[in-house]
Amino acid sequence: MKVAYHKHSWFSTLPSTPSSSLPWISPLQFLKTASLEPDLPPETTTTLVESRRKPKYISHESAVSFIKRERDPQRALEIFNKVSDQKGFNHNNATYATILDKLARSKKFQAVDAILHQMTYEACRFHEGIFLNLMKHFSKSSLHERVLEMFSAIQTIAREKPSLKAISTCLNLLVESNQVDLARTLLVSSKKNLNLEPNTCIFNILVKYHSKNGDLESAFQVVKEMKKSKTSYPNLITYSTLLDGLCEHGKLEEAIDLFEEMISKDQILPDALTYNVLINGFCCRGRVDRAKKIIEFMKKNGCNPNVFNYSALMNGFCKEGRLEEAIAAFNEMKSIGLKPDTVGYTTLIDSFSKAGRTNEALELLQEMKEKDCKADTVTFNVIIGGLCREGRFEEAFRMLYKLPNEGVYLNKASYRIVLNFLCKEEELEKAVELLGLMLSRGFVPHFATSNELLVRLCESGMVADAAMVLFGLVEMGFKPEPRSWSLLVELICRERKLLPAFELLDELVITEL
């Protein structure tokens, strides 16, 4: 049954969000002429009459399935409305949740508001999960006040007291979006109006917020409040967050003291993730030997290091140029049955490449392929850079040509690395060839590199190549520096090729306009 719209409903005060230019069909104004069924092929009159006499009843489960499968949100809304025309059919929590999710994903928030308004008159029981989902959609769209409104709607529409999970979800979304005032409003109103005491999860969100913003004093103050509260106490997540904040700000000794307090005083055993916070912290501050001792401590205390622990340690060794020790850590990781991930391999490949050991880097790349560990764009860019540093431009060229045909994604940096080296080494013919490949694949060189290439071509007397390069770049939106094109025009004029010079000037003037 459809319900008339009341202008003075509290939903009428919600901020409206511009919808698309498509004519939206409100759930309160839907034309009954819309049909759920697709156009049918011609049938006999008797068959049509019988089908009208015995319409197929659509259940709630079928309605949910139809709405989910429909890609067009407006059509999904038509389905939602049409099924409610059936005698004895009333929407339930599942159908409302499905249509709201579909509309919110498409950012059709005016339609969402109309549905929410209709829900205020429904007799069925709604669950708060509907509103938690809407909170996330509103947060993604930076409609932060709407996040708080959806929290209030739990009590208004679902007619139930919001759970601590609802508070945690709402608070986390607001804190992640740096909406401190709204987060404070939520906590104050929840305690005052709902008599909800924050639990450990809620306190941890606040600890994370303060730590993330570098306010460690406030973070520790929250922990003190946790210990006083009857409904919460610091747990492993609390301590891991504090440790991360301390390490991030270089307070490593304080981090170790807190780590020991967590174990000895609060009897909380760290996991591999907590250890990784310390390992990363010491590695980032150039104290990789201390990080190595932490891994040894892990082993002695029954916590087996994982891939992330070893990758962090390897990264620390590589940053300090201690490649052999990084290799030892890599081999140790494999010897205990751990499978290196892309980050671990790339870390080592990068160090090999920078150390002029590109052949060993290529061997690791082959090992990745054999072990079904997929190399990413960063991995290939590191290899390409290593080849160029050793002057192996032909091999780098071949990788640029063949990798995209093998399903490997290369970005503009992949091409720019090689082009920069070619310009630097005066390999201008190869540079022109590479530029043609770049432009054909939709990649444009860096502005400075483009100008440098033009100048070098002109200075080398390669006037025809320079003109071709300039026209190709201009077509891609490039605007050369005055020195680049004036030098080219001057060289063309010296060769008494005035017509090409005029054509070039016309092209450049049009580009500037």
Q: What is the pLDDT of residue 52?
A: 52
Listed in sequence order, the residues at least 6 apart from 197 whose beta carbon sits closer than 8 Å to its beta carbon are 191, 229, 230, 231
Span 174-190, mean pLDDT? 86
Q: Is residue 467 in a domain?
A: yes
Asked if residue 259 has pLDDT above 70, the reply is yes
Q: By mean pLDDT, which of 33-42, 80-89, 318-327, 379-388 is the weakest?
A: 33-42
**pLDDT top residue among 8 and 403:** 403
Nearby residues of 121 by Cβ (< 8 Å), 6 or more positions away: 3
Q: Decide if pLDDT at 45 tops 70.
A: no
Of 129-133, 160-164, 195-199, 211-215, where does the model show the most confidence?
A: 129-133
pLDDT at 481: 67
Task: Give the model's confidence band at 503: pLDDT under 50 very low, under 70 low, under 90 confident, else very high.
Answer: low
Question: 12 lies in a domain?
Answer: no
Please tell me the distance from the alpha carbon of residue 194 to that of residue 307, in angstroms, as a whole number.
Answer: 45
Residue 468 forms part of a structural domain: yes
Distance from C-alpha of 18 to C-alpha of 24, rounded to nearest angstrom? 12
What pLDDT does residue 14 have?
Answer: 33
Dihedral through CA 233, CA 235, CA 239, CA 240, nearest 10? Answer: -150
CATH of the domain at 460: 1.25.40
Give the dihedral sign, CA 235/236/242/243: positive
Q: How far apart are CA 169 and CA 327, in angstroms?
A: 43
In-domain check, residue 446: yes
The maximal CA–CA distance of the chain, rounded, in angstroms, is 91
At 10, is the pLDDT very low, low, confident or very high (cuts 50, 70, 90)? Answer: very low
The separation between the first and the last C-alpha atoms of the chain, rounded to the nearest angstrom, is 61
The answer to whether 303 and 272 are in contact (CB under 8 A) is yes
Q: What pLDDT shows up at residue 66?
A: 93
Dihedral (CA of 266, 272, 273, 278) sign: positive
Joined tokens for residue 92: 């339930």
Tell me the C-alpha to C-alpha distance, in Å, between residue 490 and each of 94, 106, 311, 472, 512.
Answer: 74, 56, 56, 19, 19
pLDDT in tens, 438-494: 888 888 888 888 778 888 887 787 877 777 877 777 777 766 666 666 666 666 666
Residue 507 has pLDDT above 60, yes or no: no
State residue 471's pLDDT score: 72
CB 195 within 8 A of CB 201: no
Is 243 among the domain residues? no
Find the mean pLDDT for residues 429-436.
89
pLDDT > 90 fraction of the chain, expressed in percent and rounded: 55
- In angstroms, the CA 392 to CA 401 distance is 15
Grade residue 11 by pLDDT with cuts at 50, 70 and 90. very low
User: Which of 197-201, 266-270, 358-362, 470-474 bottoms out in mean pLDDT, i.e. has the lowest?
Assistant: 470-474
How far, rounded to the nearest angstrom, does the alpha carbon of residue 210 sit from its chain's CA centroid? 23
| 487 Cβ contact list (under 8 Å, min separation 6) | 454, 455, 458, 459
Q: What is the mean pLDDT of residues 166-191?
A: 87
Report yes or no on 475 lying in a domain: yes
**Spatial distance between the Cα atoms of 239 and 273, rounded to a whole number of angstroms:** 11
In a domain, 27, yes or no: no
Angle (nearest 5°) at CA 106 between 12 and 142: 65
> In whole numbers, what is the pLDDT of the chain averaged over residues?
83
Could you give the CA distance from residue 513 to residue 508 in angstroms, rounded to a whole number? 9
Hey, what are 94's tokens? 């599942």
pLDDT in the model for residue 292 = 95
- pLDDT at position 485 is 60
Q: Between residues 466 and 305, which one has the greater pLDDT?
A: 305
Q: How many domains does the chain have?
A: 1
Task: Give residue-wise pLDDT tens across range 127-156.
Answer: 999 999 999 999 999 999 999 999 999 999
Show the tokens assigned to 239: 């301590």
pLDDT-wise least confident of 19-23, 100-104, 441-445: 19-23
Q: How far is Cα 313 from Cα 421, in angstroms, rounded to an integer?
A: 32
Q: Is the separation of the CB atoms in 480 and 452 below 8 Å?
A: no
Is the predicted pLDDT of residue 19 greater than 60, yes or no?
A: no
Residue 243 CA to residue 220 CA, distance in Å, equals 11
The pTM of the full predicted model, rounded to 2 decimals, is 0.70
The larger pLDDT score, comparing residue 474 to residue 227, is at: 227
Tokens 């059919």 belong to which residue? 89
| Residue 94 pLDDT exceeds 90 | yes
Helix (H, G, I), strand (E, B), or coil: what is residue 159? coil
Q: How far apart are CA 66 and CA 94, in angstroms?
A: 12
Distance, in Å, from the CA atom of 104 to the CA atom of 141, rounded to the nearest integer, reads 10
pLDDT of residue 476: 74
- More confident position, 490 or 354: 354
- C-beta neighbour count of 373 within 10 angstroms: 18
Asked if 25 and 143 count as a contact pair (C-beta separation under 8 A), the reply is no
pLDDT exceeds 70 at position 405: yes
Q: Is the dihedral of CA 363, 365, 366, 372 positive or negative?
A: positive
pLDDT at residue 25 in the model: 45
User: Which pLDDT band holds residue 198 (cuts at 50, 70, 90)?
Assistant: confident
Confidence band for 279, pLDDT divided at 50, 70 and 90: very high
Would you say residue 6 lies in a domain? no
pLDDT tier for residue 426 given thresholds of 50, 70 and 90 = confident
Nearest to 338 by CA among 362, 363, 314: 314
Task: Look up residue 378 and give its two tokens.
Answer: 């960063």
Handedness of CA 230, 235, 239, 241 (dihedral sign): negative
Task: State which amino acid sits at residue 403.
Answer: L
**CA torsion sign, 374 to 380 to 382 to 384?**
positive
pLDDT band at 268 (very low <50, low <70, confident <90, very high): very high
- Report the distance separating Cα 276 and Cα 312, nearest Å: 8
Compare 201 and 482 and report the one with higher pLDDT: 201
- Are 346 and 379 contacting, i.e. CB atoms less than 8 angstroms apart? yes
How far apart CA 136 and CA 141 sit, in angstroms, is 9
Please state the rounded mean pLDDT for residues 221-240.
Answer: 89
Estimate the share of the chain in helix, then strand, then coil, as percent rounded to the nearest 5. 70, 0, 30
Q: Of 270, 251, 271, 263, nearest to 211 (Cα)?
A: 251
Lowest mean pLDDT among 35-44, 261-270, 359-368: 35-44
- Residue 494's domain comprises 441-513
pLDDT at residue 340 greater than cutoff 70: yes
